[in-house]
Chain A
Amino acid sequence: MSDDVKAKDPKKAPKPDITFFHPDLLVVPENGMPPYLQGYRCKSCGNLDFPKPTICLNCWGEEFEIVPLSRQGVLYSVTDIFIGQAGMKTPYVFGYVDLPENLRIFAQMEGEPGTFKCDDKVELTVGPIRMNRDGLPITSYKFRKTAV
């Protein structure tokens, strides 16, 4: 049998899974400046939202301007997860971070279980949040305690 026949049809090869969670939500500048999240403000009514809405939830406007969000926030609540999603290494930590733009972000925390408490000041960072279908890590936004 020829090699052509034996080779898998490239049209049927599965697309590789993502390794970065959302370039439209998280910006990691190439010049080494700190990463930041992007909010989306409706051009019709001014409603600011994260993540990016399909359509404005308030007025159905379809045009948005990108608003870089504060990198510092307050950890409203947090928990250490000991029995987690399938495939996740435990324990891991997640919480709700409140940003000054009146947005709440759900994110994994970078840091040891048992070291976070409500109202801790936290800052944005970047790191792996899970493994993808191909066994590679997916990088996304995370938060860690703000260095004193």
Chain B
Amino acid sequence: MKLMRDVYIAGVGETKFAKHSVDYDVLGRAAALEAMRNSNINRPDVVQSAYVGNGMNGIVTGQTVFKDLGMCGRLPIVNVESACSAGGMAVYSAIKDVATGVTDISLGVGCENHSLHMATGTAFAPSMSDIETMHAAVMTGKYAMRANRYMYETGTTIEDLAAITVKNRRHATNNPNAWFKGAITIEEVVNSRMVAYPLTLQQCCGIADGAGAVVVCTKEMINKLGVQKPIKVAGAVVQSGPYHNRPRDITGDDITESCSHQLYEESGIGPEEVNIVELHDAFTIAELLYYECMGLCKKGDGLKYLRDGDSTYGGKCVVSPRGGMLSYGHPIGASGAAQIAACAKQMRGDCHGFQVDPVPRIAMTHVTGGGLSGTEHAACTMHMLMSAW
């Protein structure tokens, strides 16, 4: 979107991601409170609007989150749904309020609890009114088809895909909020349970619960709150998926490419300047393809980028420094907000044990949302962040 005035991130919060016995609103509340305290906000009457991203936990999710913070009644709260993109879209919406002058300070939260709400052993699928869903489509299979086509066209192997899990889990080793972390071998990833060929269990993001939250505000508010390390929102973009029933190159990603392009144009920052990226690595193949789709490398060079170590510490751009969804799991409403929180912490040098060095000055986040037949994804939300101190 065209930012009418400058917007800054004042503070962020995120919960541990895992299977939680507390529901989405408890998680959302914890992340929101942490984000507000991180912004030096100590009272319930400072934030002027709030957006809560959630996919599947029901109605009035946002108001449920804020009721027990004494904030219901003080500000408009809007609930945002966009499947896996909801958390990012909630932050985007908060940014929009500040950028357009509707508020001076807003809060975007993403929160989700899957564990308490769904039967295990089944895969996510889009709605029954969708022609692909009627034919038994599942999201894992949609990505598996992308993997099979990429392997067919480039000679990429299952072991190459598995290397993404290995890398991201390694990144997450000392991240207290990541669920799965530490050393795992390519063999262990490849030999884990087959979900949708060639994607094995360890190549798929876990079904987790969690929350992230981001406070955004004007420069004046940053000064008023005494925030030492404000992060400028250099760009925020939401797009909806181009729909057609024609052959498309599923090793590309029309909405991600288009969204990235708009983000680079609007922020004035190119992919070669980005230090860290948190993207939609719900499945190993996704991260691999997105190196190309986002222009981190040329089309066809994704595997080389990975094998050369360019997407890990010491490389051109550290992709998934928090460990990505492959380490955190993917509570669909939470991830988009949690990614932004994780990037802000990296940029502030707050990631003891998993700090990217040198400290990143430019970060990019990306979440896609929803398997709608005829589109690559229903939605895509991307942000560009820049250190402003």
Is B269 among interface residues, defined by CB-CB distance under 8 A?
A: no
B132 touches A106 (CB 8 A): yes
Q: Closest chain A residue to B199 by CB distance?
A: A79
Q: Of residues 43 to 73 in A, which have CB atoms within 8 Å of B's CB atoms?
A: 49-51, 57
A102 touches B197 (CB 8 A): no
Residues A83 and B135 in contact in the complex (CB < 8 Å), given A76-B247, A77-B148: no
A104 touches B136 (CB 8 A): no
Q: B-side binding surface: helix, strand, loop or mixed?
A: loop
Q: Of residues 9 to 54 in A, which have CB atoms within 8 Å of B's CB atoms?
A: 21, 49-51
Q: Closest chain A residue to B124 by CB distance?
A: A85
A69 to B122 alpha-carbon distance, docked (Å): 34
Is B145 among interface residues, defined by CB-CB distance under 8 A?
A: yes
* Shortest distance between the CB of A142 and any CB in chain B (Å): 9
B196 touches A85 (CB 8 A): no
Residues A88 and B119 in contact in the complex (CB < 8 Å), given A78-B148, A82-B195, A117-B152: no
* Shortest distance between the CB of B53 and any CB in chain A (Å): 25
Q: Closest chain B residue to A39 by CB distance?
A: B245
A104 to B376 alpha-carbon distance, docked (Å): 13
Q: Of residues 127 to 154 in B, which have CB atoms within 8 Å of A's CB atoms?
A: 131-138, 140-141, 144-149, 152
Is A98 among interface residues, defined by CB-CB distance under 8 A?
A: yes
Q: Closest chain A residue to B251 by CB distance?
A: A77
B136 touches A107 (CB 8 A): no
A78 to B146 alpha-carbon distance, docked (Å): 9
Question: Which residues on A sit within 8 Å (CB–CB) of B147?
Answer: 79
Question: Which residues on A sit within 8 Å (CB–CB) of B2?
Answer: none
User: What mask results when residues 121 to 133 of chain A are scored 1 for a CB within 8 Å of chain B, else 0?
Assistant: 0000000011000
Question: Which residues on A sit within 8 Å (CB–CB) of B247?
Answer: 76, 98, 102, 104
Of B119, B135, B145, B246, which is within 8 A of A79 by CB?
A: B145
Q: Closest chain B residue to A103 by CB distance?
A: B245
Question: Which residues on A sit within 8 Å (CB–CB) of B195?
Answer: 82-83
Question: Which residues on A sit within 8 Å (CB–CB) of B131?
Answer: 51, 106
B152 touches A80 (CB 8 A): no
B246 touches A107 (CB 8 A): no
A79 touches B141 (CB 8 A): yes
User: What mask results when residues 90 to 130 of chain A are scored 1 for a CB within 8 Å of chain B, else 0?
Assistant: 00101110100011111110000110011100000000011
A102 to B245 alpha-carbon distance, docked (Å): 8
Question: Which residues on B sit within 8 Å (CB–CB) of A79?
Answer: 141, 144-145, 147-148, 196-197
Is A1 among interface residues, defined by CB-CB distance under 8 A?
A: no
A108 touches B246 (CB 8 A): no
Q: Closest chain B residue to A102 by CB distance?
A: B246
Question: Which residues on B sit within 8 Å (CB–CB) of A136?
Answer: none
* Shortest distance between the CB of A61 and any CB in chain B (Å): 16
A60 to B357 alpha-carbon distance, docked (Å): 54
B148 touches A107 (CB 8 A): no
B196 touches A83 (CB 8 A): yes
Of A57, A85, A95, A129, which is within 8 A of B145 by CB?
A: A95
User: What mask results when residues 229 to 249 of chain B are scored 1 for a CB within 8 Å of chain A, else 0?
Assistant: 000000000000001111110
Is B373 among interface residues, defined by CB-CB distance under 8 A?
A: yes
Question: Which residues on A sit within 8 Å (CB–CB) of B132?
Answer: 106
Question: Which residues on A sit within 8 Å (CB–CB) of B149?
Answer: 76-77, 118
A16 to B147 alpha-carbon distance, docked (Å): 39
Of B123, B137, B244, which is within 8 A of A106 by CB?
A: B137
A21 touches B194 (CB 8 A): no
B373 touches A106 (CB 8 A): yes
Is B317 among interface residues, defined by CB-CB distance under 8 A?
A: no
Is B250 among interface residues, defined by CB-CB distance under 8 A?
A: yes
A104 touches B248 (CB 8 A): yes
B148 touches A118 (CB 8 A): yes
A57 to B134 alpha-carbon distance, docked (Å): 22
20 A-B pairs in the complex with CB atoms less than 8 angstroms apart: A50-B245, A57-B243, A77-B148, A80-B197, A81-B141, A81-B144, A82-B197, A83-B121, A83-B140, A84-B136, A84-B138, A84-B141, A85-B122, A85-B123, A85-B133, A85-B137, A88-B136, A118-B148, A129-B135, A140-B134
**Which A residues fall within an 8 A CB radius of B?**
21, 49-51, 57, 76-86, 88, 92, 94-96, 98, 102-108, 113-114, 117-119, 129-130, 138, 140
In the A-B complex, the 5 residue pairs with the smallest Cβ-Cβ separation, listed nearest first, are A79-B144, A118-B152, A77-B145, A77-B149, A80-B197
Q: A84-B141, A138-B134 known; 4 other A-B pairs, CB under 8 Å?
A: A51-B131, A83-B122, A98-B247, A140-B135
